[in-house]
Amino acid sequence: MAYSDDKINMVHGAGGEVMQDMISDIILGNLSKTSVNGGIGLESLDDSATIPLDDDHVVVTTIDAHTVQPLFFPGGDIGRISAAGTLNDISVMGVKPVSLSNAMVISEGFERSDLERIIKSMNETCEEVDAAIITGDTKVIDSDKLDSMIITTAGIGIGKKEDVVRDSGLEVGDKVIITGSVGDHGMAIMSKREGFGYETELKSDVAPVWSMVEAAKEVGTITAMKDPTRGGIANALNEMATKASVGMRLDEERIPVKPEVEAVSDMLGIDPFEVANEGKIVMGVKADDAEDILQAIRKTKYGKDAEIIGEVTEGKRVIMETLIGGERLIEPPIADPVPRVC
């Protein structure tokens, strides 16, 4: 990959450290007001921002652009991902998403039937969490300027201040939960692109996560959470640890990876911990509540394979005890190895 300090490269959009540096330098460095009423603002780089309305209530808001290729992939499509991606960034703040706004930029010549399929898919995904699509915008541009379509969705959630969970709240002794198998989305996209013929087994996990958040909150305390999208769990775990100035000790045996994900991962030399998930949550929970929260998540539609994968420790490193009895440092990836994944 050609790399120049003066140009934006693919790696700047890939969810890793290079992207974080660009956000700090060029975006945050040139904006003067980045939060409202003392709420969570842009500088927190959390999954969503908050606007406190009064002493008790907050609006939670976020926005995501979706450029996934191909538009239709095993387990989902750009419609499902552009709804779930944004609904999930609201959900992992601990607040129920209520609405989406939907802006589409479509390439001239796009099939009407494909557009209809995509909108129906967005609708079905919103129905799962009873969220509404309340406003939008549609633009069509020359087919030599855009290969298919880009969908940008903004989400809103409304809740109580005490409901808000940040990604920075981990404390030493907390247990770490992952709500299911890792790497499914990134590897499904990769295998479809490479034409591996795994389409029947390997599916994207793209799904709305709200039901798992709701179930967990009912039975215990979540101290921090994030959806491990670009950069995978390696990125999410490190971001959460760094923000809280803590470390983690994880058990590889307990981190669920599907055999078909493992197979594609071996073939491509891509670490399943470093690729995107689109229907999972990494959660820090109070140790005393961990088992109850785990069982509650396992009863939900998308949480059957949830596991307690380790605990929060002193120190600043995310360390995994490997299957063969060694130790491996889990580092934040420089970039997600799979471009245009979401």
Interface contacts to Mg ion, rule CB under 5 A: 47, 89, 227
Q: What share of the chain is helix, strand, coil (3-state, %, to 5)?
A: 35, 25, 40
Residue nearest to Mg ion (CB): 47
Closest by CA to 49, choosing from 39, 175, 226, 32, is: 39
> How near is the Cβ of 7 to Mg ion at its closest, in Å?
26
Query: Is 232:337 a contact under the CB 8 Å cutoff?
Result: no
Residue pair 227/97 in contact (Cβ under 8 Å)? The answer is no
Residue 101 neighbours by CB distance under 10 Å: 17
- Provide the minimum distance between the beta carbon of 239 and Mg ion in the complex, in angstroms, as a whole number: 10
How many other CB atoms sit within 10 Å of the CB of residue 137? Answer: 10
Q: Which C-beta is closer to Mg ion: that of 191 or that of 229?
A: 229
Q: Which residues of 26-58 are buried (b: 16+ CB within 10 A; e: fewer)?
A: eeeeeeeeeeeeebbbeebbbbbbbbbeeeeeb
Question: Which one, 62 or 102, has the nearer CB to Mg ion?
Answer: 62
Chain centre to alpha carbon of residue 83:
12
DSSP string, 319-335: EEE-TTS-EEE----SS
CB of 48 to Mg ion, least distance (A): 8
Q: Closest approach of Cβ 149 to Mg ion, in Å? A: 22
Q: Where are the beta strands (DSSP E) in 164-207?
A: 175-178
For Mg ion, the closer CB: 205 or 227:
227
Nearest distance in Å: CB 44, Mg ion: 12
Q: Which is nearer to Mg ion, 214 or 292 (CB)?
A: 214
CB-nearer residue toward Mg ion: 47 or 289: 47
Least separation in angstroms between residue 63's CB and Mg ion is 12
Q: Rounded to whole angstroms, how far apart are CA atoms 43 and 301?
A: 34
Smallest distance, Mg ion to C-beta of residue 91, A: 10
**Nearer to Mg ion (CB atom), residue 188 or residue 236:** 236
Query: Closer CB to Mg ion, residue 62 or residue 265?
Result: 62
